[in-house]
Amino acid sequence: MRRTASPLSLFLLGAGVFLLVLAPLLVWYVQPQAKRTPIDTDTTTVFTGTGSYFDTGEVETVTGKEITITRQVRGDVADSLKSGNAVWDVSTSVDHSETLPASDPRDALQWTMERWVTDRYTNEPVHCCEESPTFDGEAYLKFPFDVERRAYRWWDSTLGGVVRLEYAGERKIQGYEGYLFKGKVEPTRTGVRQVPGVLVDRPKTPQILAEEWYSNSGIELVVDQRTGRIINAAIGPKKTLRAPGSSKDAVTLLESKRVEFTEETQKKQVELASADSKRLALLGGTLPAGAVALGLVLTLVGTVLVVRGRRSEPEAPNTHMMTNSPT
């Protein structure tokens, strides 16, 4: 008798083999493609807090005022595709109640426009594509993927340098757990600014190049472990002016003990981090493991059916063995 495999057994066997081949492809190809810094990002984060700033109208530092920091990040898709890197344009403005909402960011207390370029896989800085300023470090607007429990070098734009952030445990933001990193910046000279001498206790000098000093009493970043997205940030910035060579602050330009992501920003960052984290976990663990388990079962069942469940068909008669008996 001639034996042939059933369509069902061949289908199960083929499906099982396909899943076994698919599993390593998900881990070695699909997930790494998904684990890349996005180039089409368009996000806005907002910090708020209470502090002091120099009021140019009053010509003095006013205290107990609400301070808002708004940062908008937009990806330059065309330059990103051309270079193969993540090219982001970053606008940051510091405002008080009287400059919000601002139709022109140049009306803010402080406004900067930067272009950041990073490697999409490693998050390392890439110095190309009209990057401005030239920066360093390994953590910036985001951390690398698969954040570790160790210190990171974080770029502080106001400082114009890197700050060592130490791992400080875990913290929940809006019910979502992330890694907490802490650091601070000791008073550091960051540049000079021409101002009337009277502002820095040099009344006999009409104009003077005062020294700009910056410090940060506390940097706290809570980061999603899998994606490196910052789900909460809090800082304590202080910017002052000093007379040339002086060790004392003469004017406080901006100071706050703590400005932090608003609740709305926290929720949005958590939502984005959770969605991306789940997708990476699915591609890197759940789907491959499920594909292997199901693939093994289907392959085993298909093989058994091929061996045991074939249908039988009668063989054609052998005419060479047949003879006609005489009448």
pLDDT on residue 145: 94
pLDDT digits (tens, 9 = 90+) for 203-248: 989 999 999 999 999 999 999 999 999 999 999 999 999 999 999 9
The rounded distance, in Å, linking the Cα atoms of 51 and 57 is: 17
With 60 as the cut, is the pLDDT of residue 259 above it?
Answer: yes
Residue 217, helix vs strand vs coil: strand
| Residue of 274, 269, 241, 272 whose CA lies nearest to 255 | 241
pLDDT band (50, 70, 90) for residue 36: confident
Mean pLDDT throughout 97-106? 70
The rounded distance, in Å, linking the Cα atoms of 193 and 212 is: 7
Distances (CA, A) of 92 to 76, 98, 203, 243, 305: 17, 17, 34, 28, 66
pLDDT digits (tens, 9 = 90+) for 47-61: 999 999 998 888 889
pLDDT digits (tens, 9 = 90+) for 305-315: 666 655 444 55
pLDDT band (50, 70, 90) for residue 8: low
Mean pLDDT throughout 102-124? 85
pLDDT digits (tens, 9 = 90+) for 158-200: 999 999 999 999 999 999 999 999 999 999 999 999 999 999 9
pLDDT on residue 73: 95
The rounded distance, in Å, linking the Cα atoms of 173 and 194 is: 42
The rounded distance, in Å, linking the Cα atoms of 222 and 230 is: 6
Orientation of helix 287-308 relative to helix 7-25, angle to 10°: 150
Q: How far is CA 24 from the centre of its chain?
A: 26
pLDDT on residue 327: 42
With 60 as the cut, is the pLDDT of residue 323 above it?
Answer: no
| Residue of 3, 26, 19, 27 whose CA lies nearest to 301 | 19
Q: In this predicted model, which residue has the larger pLDDT, 14 or 133?
A: 133
The rounded distance, in Å, linking the Cα atoms of 19 and 28 is: 14
Contact 215, 186 (CB under 8 A): yes
Mean pLDDT throughout 2-22? 60
Alpha-carbon dihedral 291, 294, 297, 300, rounded to 10 degrees = -40
